[in-house]
C-alpha cells in the first residue's frame, strides 16, 4: 500500500508503544485527580453527613435545616447574582483590553503598558483592592471625605463588591482572550472586508465568533473566581449583601462549625458545574480552526476605524487610570505612618515585614517556586489529552479537573484539611499540601487556555507528523508544544501569581511550620496594622512582576517561529 493510502489512524494503531505512552499518562493524571480532587471531596461529603468521627450514620436533618434557612438562601442567590455580574463585566473588560491590544495597531511600548496595568489587580491579594476602595470611598476616604467632604458615606454593598471583584479578576479574561485574538489569521478578516463587508460586519460575523471559545472560558473562570472569593465580600459586602463563601467562613471561624461551613460552601458546587457543562456543550458544537499551516502568511488588516480606535483607547486608559490610582494609594499607604491620620514618610512598615514577616516571605516563595512548573505542566498535558485524544472518560476527566477551581476556596481548604489530617496520607502541616492545593486549584487556567488554542489548530498538522512515522511524544514535543506554548506560559504565570496571592483555601492549610504572606496581610488587616499590610502587598506585586517578566522573556526567546501566542507582558 502506498504512503498516501495509509490513514493517520492506521499509523497510530500500528505503534502500540505510542499508545502505551498516552495510556500511562492518562492513568497517572487520573491517579492524581483521584487523590487530590475526588478523594478530598468524598471525605468532605462524608464528614458533612456525619459519617466520619466514629458515627457511621447519615444525618441530613441538621444540614437541611442549615441550607433551608432564609438568610442562607438569600446568601446563595446573592452569590449567584454577584458571580454572574462579575463574569459578565469582567469578561467584557478583558475583551475590551485584548481587542484594543491586538487590533488597534498600538506601539510595542503601549501594549507592554497595557499588559503591566491589567496585571496589577491580579498580582496582589484580592482583598487589597477592597482596602484601597475603603481608603478612597469609605467614611474617612480620601475622595469621599477628603475631597468632597461627605460625612457618613458608605461604600459597602453589591456595587462596591462587584466593582472590586471585576477589577481584580478581569485580567484572567484578558490573559485568556488575547492569545485567541492574536492567533486569528488576519487574512480571514481581510478577505471578508474585500468582499464588501463593513468593519462592524467583519467583527460581528468573523472575529467575534472565532473568539467564542475564549469568551466562554473567560466567563467560566471569572464566574468560578467570584464564587470562590470570600475576602472581598467579607470586607465590602457587609450585612446588606451576604454571600455564601463569607457565610461559610464566618460559620467556621465564628461558630467553630466546620460541618456547617463546609455544607454552605458545598452548595455552590452545583451552579458552578452547571455553568461549566453548559459552556462545554455550547463550545463543542462549533469549530474554530484558524491555524492550518496552509496560509501564505499574515497580512495587515485595518479592523478598527479611526473613531472606534479613539473610543477603545480612551476606554482602556480610563480603566487603567483607576487601577493605577488604587495601587499608587496602596504604595503611599506603605510609606506613611498612618494613611488618613499621620502622613509622615517612613520605612518602618518595610522593616517590620522583613523582620517579623520574613518567615512568611520565605515560605511563600518556596511554595510558589514548586507550584509554578508543576501547575504549568499539569495544565498543558491534561488540556492536550482531552482535546486531541479520545479515551474513555475524557470529558469526565476535564470536568473533574475543573472542580477544585469551581469550588469556593473555603471548601477546598476544608476538604484538604479533613482528607489529609489522618492516615492513610497525612500531609497537614507540610508544604506539600499547599503545593497540591495550588496545582489542582489553579492549574485549570492552563487547561482552559490549552483547549482554547488547540481548537484553533488544525489536527492535520499533528496527523501529518504521525503519518510520517513520528511517535506521539515526538509529535507533541516538536509540533504541538511550540504552538501551545502561550497557553503553557499563561498557566505558568497564573499558577505563580495565585500561589503568591491566594488565601481562600490556604488559610485553612497554613501551620506553624509553613505560613504565607496573604495570611499575614489578613492578620494585619484584622489587627488594623494597615501599614505593614500595604507594605506586604507592594512586595508581592514587585516579586510577581519580576518573575512573570522573566517568564515572558524566556517565551520570547524560545518560542518557535510562527507560534500563535504572546508573552504575558507583551510582544
- Dump pLDDT digits (tens) for 278-309: 666 665 555 455 555 554 445 445 567 778 88
Domains of the chain, CATH where assigned: 13-293+301-341+348-558 (1.10.3720.10)
Supply angle C-alpha 278, 281, 286, rounded to 5.
Answer: 135
- Residue whose grid cell is 504572546: 566
Q: How confident is the model at residue 59 (pLDDT cuts 50, 70, 90)?
A: low
The rounded distance, in Å, linking the Cα atoms of 361 and 29 is 31
pTM, rounded to two decimals: 0.76
Structure confidence at residue 571 (pLDDT) = 34
CB atoms within 10 A of CB 146: 12
Cβ distance 182 to 564 under 8 Å?
A: yes
Q: Which cell numbers in the block locate residue 16?
A: 502500540
Instruction: Average the pLDDT over each of 398-412, 513-527, 530-544, 557-571 and give the range with the smallest value.
Output: 557-571
Please name which of 252, 235, 72, 105 lies closest in space to residue 161, comparing C-alpha atoms: 235
State how far the alpha carbon of 431 is from the alpha carbons of 182, 363, 427, in Å.
38, 8, 8
Q: How many CB atoms lie within 10 A of CB 428?
A: 16
How far CA 216 is from CA of 282, 301, 446, 453, 518, in Å, comes to 9, 25, 15, 13, 30
- Strand-pairing partners, residue 457, are 291
Q: Provide the β-strand partners of residue 291.
A: 457
Q: Are 348 and 342 in contact (CB under 8 A)?
A: no
In this prediction, residue 22 carries a pLDDT of 82
The Cα 412–Cα 474 span in angstroms is 37
pLDDT in tens, 112-151: 777 777 778 877 887 788 888 877 887 777 787 767 667 7
Quick check: 33 pLDDT over 90?
yes
Instruction: Give pLDDT tens digits for 8-30.
Output: 333 333 333 346 878 888 999 99
Residues 102 and 565: beta-carbon distance below 8 Å = no
**What confidence score (pLDDT) does residue 280 get?**
62
For 329-383, write each residue's pLDDT tens digit.
989 989 988 877 788 999 999 999 999 999 999 999 999 999 998 998 898 889 8
Which band of pLDDT confidence, cut at 50, 70 and 90, is reported for residue 237?
confident
- Rounded (10°) CA dihedral 534, 539, 541, 547: -170
Chain length of the chain: 571
pLDDT in tens, 403-459: 887 777 778 888 898 899 888 889 988 999 999 999 998 888 788 777 777 776 777
Among 161, 160, 261, 177, CA closest to 221 = 177
Q: Rounded mean pLDDT of the chain?
A: 79
Amino acid at each position: 500500500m502506498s504512503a498516501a493510502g495509509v490513514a493517520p489512524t492506521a499509523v497510530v494503531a500500528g505503534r502500540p508503544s505510542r499508545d502505551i505512552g498516552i495510556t500511562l499518562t492518562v492513568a497517572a493524571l487520573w491517579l492524581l485527580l483521584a487523590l487530590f480532587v475526588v478523594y478530598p471531596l468524598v471525605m468532605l461529603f462524608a464528614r458533612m453527613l456525619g459519617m466520619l468521627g466514629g458515627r457511621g450514620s447519615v444525618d441530613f436533618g441538621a444540614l437541611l435545616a442549615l441550607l433551608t434557612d432564609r438568610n442562607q438562601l438569600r446568601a446563595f442567590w446573592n452569590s449567584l447574582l454577584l458571580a454572574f455580574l462579575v463574569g459578565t463585566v469582567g469578561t467584557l473588560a478583558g475583551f475590551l483590553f485584548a481587542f484594543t491590544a491586538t487590533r488597534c495597531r498600538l506601539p510595542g511600548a503601549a501594549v507592554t503598558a497595557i499588559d503591566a496595568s491589567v496585571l496589577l489587580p491580579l498580582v496582589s491579594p484580592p482583598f487589597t483592592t477592597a482596602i484601597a476602595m475603603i481608603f478612597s470611598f469609605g467614611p474617612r476616604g480620601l475622595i469621599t471625605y477628603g475631597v468632597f467632604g461627605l460625612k457618613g458615606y458608605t461604600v459597602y454593598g453589591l456595587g462596591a463588591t462587584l466593582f472590586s471583584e471585576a477589577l481584580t479578576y478581569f485580567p484572567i479574561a484578558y490573559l485568556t482572550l488575547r492569545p485567541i485574538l492574536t492567533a486569528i489569521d488576519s487574512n480571514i478578516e481581510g478577505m471578508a472586508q474585500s468582499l464588501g463587508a463593513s468593519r462592524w460586519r467583519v467583527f460581528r460575523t468573523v472575529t467575534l465568533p472565532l473568539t467564542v471559545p475564549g469568551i466562554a472560558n473567560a466567563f467560566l473562570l471569572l464566574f468560578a473566581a467570584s464564587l470562590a472569593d470570600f475576602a472581598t465580600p467579607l470586607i465590602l459586602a457587609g450585612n446588606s449583601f451576604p454571600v455564601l463563601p463569607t457565610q461559610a467562613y464566618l460559620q467556621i471561624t465564628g461558630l467553630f462549625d466546620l460541618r456547617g461551613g463546609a455544607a454552605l460552601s458545598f452548595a455552590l458546587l452545583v451552579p458552578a458545574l452547571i455553568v461549566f457543562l453548559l459552556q462545554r456543550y455550547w463550545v463543542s458544537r462549533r469549530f474554530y480552526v484558524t491555524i492550518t499551516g496552509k496560509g501564505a502568511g499574515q497580512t495587515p488588516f485595518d479592523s478598527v476605524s479611526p473613531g472606534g480606535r479613539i473610543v477603545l483607547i480612551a476606554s482602556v486608559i480610563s480603566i487603567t487610570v483607576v487601577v493605577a490610582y488604587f495601587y499608587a494609594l496602596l504604595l503611599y499607604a506603605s510609606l506613611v505612618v498612618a494613611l488618613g491620620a499621620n502622613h509622615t514618610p517612613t520605612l518602618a512598615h518595610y522593616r517590620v515585614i522583613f523582620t517579623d514577616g520574613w518567615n512568611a516571605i520565605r515560605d511563600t516563595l518556596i511554595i510558589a517556586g514548586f507550584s509554578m512548573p508543576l501547575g504549568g505542566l499539569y495544565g498543558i498535558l491534561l488540556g492536550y489529552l482531552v482535546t486531541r485524544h479520545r479515551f474513555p472518560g475524557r470529558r469526565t476527566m476535564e470536568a473533574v479537573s475543573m472542580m477544585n477551581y469551581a469550588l469556593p476556596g473555603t471548601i477546598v481548604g476544608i476538604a484538604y484539611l479533613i482528607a489529609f489530617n489522618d492516615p492513610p496520607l497525612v500531609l497537614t502541616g507540610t508544604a506539600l499540601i499547599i503545593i497540591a492545593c495550588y496545582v489542582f486549584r489553579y492549574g485549570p487556567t492552563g487547561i482552559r487556555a490549552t483547549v482554547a488554542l488547540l481548537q484553533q489548530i488544525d489536527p492535520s498538522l499533528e496527523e501529518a507528523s504521525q503519518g510520517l512515522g513520528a511517535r506521539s511524544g515526538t509529535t507533541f514535543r516538536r509540533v504541538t508544544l511550540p504552538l501551545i506554548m502561550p497557553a503553557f506560559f499563561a498557566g505558568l504565570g497564573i499558577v505563580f501569581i495565585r500561589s503568591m496571592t491566594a488565601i481562600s483555601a490556604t488559610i485553612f492549610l497554613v501551620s506553624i511550620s509553613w505560613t504565607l504572606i496573604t495570611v499575614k496581610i489578613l492578620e494585619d488587616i484584622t489587627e488594623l496594622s494597615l501599614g505593614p499590610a500595604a507594605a506586604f502587598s507592594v512586595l508581592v506585586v514587585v516579586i510577581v512582576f519580576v518573575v512573570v517578566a522573566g517568564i515572558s522573556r524566556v517565551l520570547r526567546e524560545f518560542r518557535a517561529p510562527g507560534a500563535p501566542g504572546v508573552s504575558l507582558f507583551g510582544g
